[in-house]
Structure formats: structure tokens, C-alpha cells
């Protein structure tokens, strides 16, 4: 796996609990606002979407592109973060 950010490392290092959606790697202020406008305020709600898509990383990326208009490195980082967290804790 490629080098990850400190934000990614922090997120996947512990249970999710009540973390805000902006604590997910790849989710900065702009994408956090878009997610919150769609009802995704907590990281576990974003995880729930990933689970609804049968933990299919490509489908999750498509959903992020279509619904949140996430692009590029942010898209990859967010998807990798949720995927790695789920592998570690589920």
C-alpha cells in the first residue's frame, strides 16, 4: 500500500466511535460540508454507506464521485481509509 497520511493513520488506529466525518482521510472542509448536507455527519454513517455497497471499494468510489463530487487524491484517500478501517475492525 502507498504511504498514508497522519490523518489516515490516526483514523485506522482505533475504533471509530463518534468520530466526525471530517476525521476520515480525504475529507476536508468542502467534502465534509457536502457529506453533512446529505446527512453524513459521523464517520460511522459513511462506513454504513460502504457496508450498504457490500464493502465494494469501486462502488463506494463511484458513490463518492456521484453523490459528493469527490475527485482525485481525496477520493482515493477516503475510500482507502474506510476500507482499511473495516478490514482492521470488522
Interval 5-33: pLDDT, tens: 999 999 999 999 999 999 999 999 999 99
Q: What average pLDDT is seen over the chain?
A: 95
- Cα–Cα distance between 25 and 83 in angstroms, integer? 11
Q: To 10 degrees, the CA torsion angle through 62, 63, 68, 73? A: -40
pLDDT at 1 over 70: no
Cβ-Cβ contacts under 8 Å for 28 (sequence gap 6 or more): 22, 74
pLDDT band at 2 (very low <50, low <70, confident <90, very high): low
Map grid coordinates 478490514 to a residue: 87
d(CA 49, CA 54): 9
| pLDDT tens sequence across 36-55 | 999 999 999 999 999 999 99
Q: Give domain 6-89's CATH superfamily.
A: Barrier-to-autointegration factor, BAF (1.10.150.40)
Amino acid at each position: 500500500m502507498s504511504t498514508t497520511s497522519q490523518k489516515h493513520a490516526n483514523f485506522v488506529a482505533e475504533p471509530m466511535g463518534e468520530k466526525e466525518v471530517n476525521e476520515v482521510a480525504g475529507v476536508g472542509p468542502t467534502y465534509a460540508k457536502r457529506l453533512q448536507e446529505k446527512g453524513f455527519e459521523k464517520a460511522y454513517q459513511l462506513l454504513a454507506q460502504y457496508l450498504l455497497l457490500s464493502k465494494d471499494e469501486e462502488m463506494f468510489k463511484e458513490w463518492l464521485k456521484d453523490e459528493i463530487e469527490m475527485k482525485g487524491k481525496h477520493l482515493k484517500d477516503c475510500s482507502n481509509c474506510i476500507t482499511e478501517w473495516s478490514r482492521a475492525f470488522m
